[in-house]
């Protein structure tokens, strides 16, 4: 059984043996924040997620508990679908709004046709350099922590696949999009490289993961909804011993 929006009780769940939960990660939470909250709520140490979402991103996060953590790699290999927006004319070290915005390039000469033409260069198998502000580890140390300390490492480009890159709306300086891509793809890098292709710079303004393979964020629980279910689940479990005693008497 998969725990999702339509789940109304956890009576048949066994978090030690393993459960899979669909979450809609809230803004400004790390993926680990969600895992930590769930670990405490269900009382199981073995809890993991199937693909990091940045704090400034929202959307689908698949969390596995117990023995189901063995299935995490299966979910990680699935294509991811994102919607979001790129802010043109700006740059930043983190390639999004987390760090200070740099520059104020004139984008008045950039036409809608230029934006749509640039999009085509990010379809198929592409090479991209991951952001320094990322969860990638180098010799056991997080690049994110290195970046926060002002360190810069020359990273090698990685091949990723983008099967869909659709421009949903152009309202300069903002460009709304939908992207379907392989695991390991950094949408921040696409936003940065997209701006470079247009010659004005660009940063990721917003991001939401709407799907992982066939699993949709529309079916996902909020963290608060899940916590409410766990409270009811715990209350029911506490009643069980007393009910058994009454039956024996």
107-116: pLDDT as tens digits = 999 999 999 9
pLDDT at 249 over 60: no
Domains 2-76+213-248 and 80-130+156-211 share a fold: no
- 74-97 confidence digits (pLDDT tens): 999 999 999 999 999 999 999 999
pLDDT at position 15 is 96
Task: Tell which CATH classification among 1.10.10, 1.10.3470, 3.30.70, 3.40.50 matches the domain 2-76+213-248.
Answer: 3.30.70
Say what the alpha-carbon torsion angle 232, 228, 211, 196 is, to the nearest 10 degrees: -150
Tokens linked to 233: 């689940």
Percentage of the chain beyond pLDDT 90 is 82
Query: Beta strand 80-88 with 174-181: parallel, antiparallel or unpaired?
Result: antiparallel
Identify the burial level of 193 via C-beta atoms within 10 angstroms of its C-beta, where 0-12 means exposed, 13-18 middle and 19 or more buried: buried
> Domain 80-130+156-211 carries which CATH code?
3.30.2350.10
Cite the active site residues.
54
Tell me the per-residue pLDDT of 190-234, one tens digit each, with 9 for 90 and over: 999 999 999 999 999 999 999 999 999 999 999 999 999 999 998
Distance from C-alpha of 85 to C-alpha of 207, rounded to nearest angstrom? 7
- State whether residue 193 is helix, strand or coil: helix
Residue 133: how many CA atoms within 13 Å on its side-chain side? 20
At 239, is the pLDDT very low, low, confident or very high (cuts 50, 70, 90)?
confident
Q: The pTM is what?
A: 0.91
Parse the chain into domains and list their residue ranges. 2-76+213-248, 80-130+156-211
**Nearest one of 92, 104, 115, 82 to 197, comparing CA atoms:** 115
Q: Decide which of 248 and 203 is more confident.
A: 203
What is the distance between the alpha carbons of residues 244 and 43, in angstroms, rounded to a whole number? 23
Q: Looking at per-residue confidence, does 149 or 128 come out higher?
A: 128
Q: What CA–CA distance (Å, rounded) separates 9 from 228? A: 10
Mean pLDDT of the residues in the chain = 92
Residue 142: is it exposed, middle or buried by C-beta count within 10 angstroms (0-12/13-18/19+)?
Answer: middle
Phi, psi for residue 203 in degrees, rounded to 5: -130, 155
Write the DSSP assignment of 92-132 as a string of letters.
-TTSBSSS--B-----TT--HHHHHHHHGGGSEEEEEPPPS
């Amino acid at each position: 059984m998969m725990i999702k929006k339509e789940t109304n009780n956890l009576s048949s769940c066994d978090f030690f043996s393993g459960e899979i939960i669909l979450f809609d990660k809230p803004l400004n939470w790390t993926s680990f924040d969600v895992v930590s909250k769930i670990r405490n709520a269900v009382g199981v140490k073995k809890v993991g997620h199937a693909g990091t979402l940045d704090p400034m991103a929202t959307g689908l996060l698949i969390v596995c508990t117990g023995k189901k953590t063995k299935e995490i790699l299966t979910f990680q290999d699935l294509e991811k679908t994102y919607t979001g927006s790129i802010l043109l004319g700006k740059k930043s070290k983190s390639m999004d709004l987390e760090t200070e915005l740099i520059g104020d390039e004139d984008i008045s000469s950039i036409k809608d046709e230029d934006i749509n033409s640039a999009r085509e260069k990010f379809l198929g198998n592409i090479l991209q350099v991951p952001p320094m502000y990322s969860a990638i580890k180098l010799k056991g140390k997080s690049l994110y922590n290195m970046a926060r300390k002002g360190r810069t490492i020359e990273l090698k480009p990685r091949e990723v696949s983008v099967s869909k890159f659709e421009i949903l709306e152009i309202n300069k300086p903002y460009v709304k999009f939908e992207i379907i891509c392989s695991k390991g793809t950094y949408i921040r890098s696409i936003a940065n490289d997209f701006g470079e292709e247009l010659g004005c710079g660009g940063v990721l303004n917003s991001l939401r993961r709407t799907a992982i393979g066939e699993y949709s964020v529309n079916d996902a629980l909020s963290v608060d909804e899940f916590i409410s279910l766990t409270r009811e689940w715990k209350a029911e479990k506490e009643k069980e011993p007393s009910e058994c005693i009454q039956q024996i008497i």
